[in-house]
Amino acid sequence: MALLAQIVQSSFAKPRPTLRILPVRTRAHMGGTRQLNLQSFILTPNELSTALTKNVPTKISTAPRVIPLCAAWFLPNDHQGRTGQRVFEEKRIPTARFFDLDAVKDHDSPYPHMLPSAETFAKAMQDMGIRKDDEVVVYDTQELGIFSAPRVAWTLQVFGHPGVHLLNNFRLWVEQGYPTESGKFEAVVEEPSHYPTPTLDAARVVAFSEMKEIASDHGKEGSEGVQVLDARSKGRWAGTDPEPRPGLPSGHIPGSISVPVSELLDPDTGALLPGEELRRLFESKGVDSERPIISSCGTGVTAAVVDAALGEAGFGQPEARRLYDGSWTEWAQRVSEADGLIRKKV
């Protein structure tokens, strides 16, 4: 194992282009003192590589670790038939685990990606071998850029995991020459962890009943408080383009603002834009940083990209930002255009 640690460490220690490095913080632990270069939620490839180099995992240490967590996910109708597990096994960050969005969810819900129970979440973390004191860095696919990783990071946060970060992004990790590995995902976890059953932070989640009340009050006196940002494409929001799910009407929640996720990303790298650019974009759309914000999308996945972008822009208070878990897939199946709760704009 010492030899393995030496090999992994040397692979991360190759010279790299100089990028911004955050201040170092240390954690004292029974297994020794570890240096963790992870002060920010959004991390560059250089910052993750530095942290991994300084925190090479060993079998005997119980010190907190830096765990890359692949959140690869593709739409069910992906034209190339790609799946998250397949691309994880083809190319991943060394020591990474795989979070399956289609498995770690509420299987009793008719909607695709509703939050799992606390017990289901804890079991998934145990099966991935992740401990409560691990620093987890969630990342996306090389193919799509930032897409589903923010949803997984948000899920960890609402279940109270203390150390959660987002890599910006895996495509840049690969292009900048940082190491990757391949192989079956079952071989990554040496043994399950003893992750405790957490408590959901329900204050960060918006349910259908509250969303319906907000939408029904839109346009009424005194209802100007909450803003709803929709990450779907402008055509789907406007009702001019179809939804990818058969039988689901397009359109938008009354009063919602169209913030297509593509506008938040660099078109070449798929990485989140710098914070100042994101701030100007939100301001150009009339988003008020002093008012509460609810993010929504198709199934609750890319809504978390909007939430992450708001955070990177320093836009609004974290406690005033929430996510509509069921998003459009739930909304369009439970309301109708006839009752005024699906709007179209042509």
Strand bridging mode 32-36 / 25-29: antiparallel
Task: Read off the tokens for 142.
Answer: 């090389």
Alpha carbon distance 117, 328 (integer Å): 21
| Residue 297 a catalytic site member | yes
Q: Which of 66, 59, 58, 70 is nearest to 24 (CA)?
A: 66
Contact call for residues 327 and 151 (beta carbons, < 8 A): no
Q: Which of 136, 297, 304, 308 is catalytic?
A: 297
Alpha carbon distance 144, 150 (integer Å): 13
Report helix, strand or coil for 267. coil
- β-pair partners for 34: 27
Which string of b and e fits 304-323 if b means at least 16 CB within 10 Å? bbbbbbbbbbebbeeeebbb
- β-pair partners for 165: 137
- DSSP letter, residue 265: B
Alpha carbon distance 315, 283 (integer Å): 9
Contact call for residues 189 and 127 (beta carbons, < 8 A): yes
Alpha carbon distance 152, 113 (integer Å): 11
Active-site residues, by number, are 297
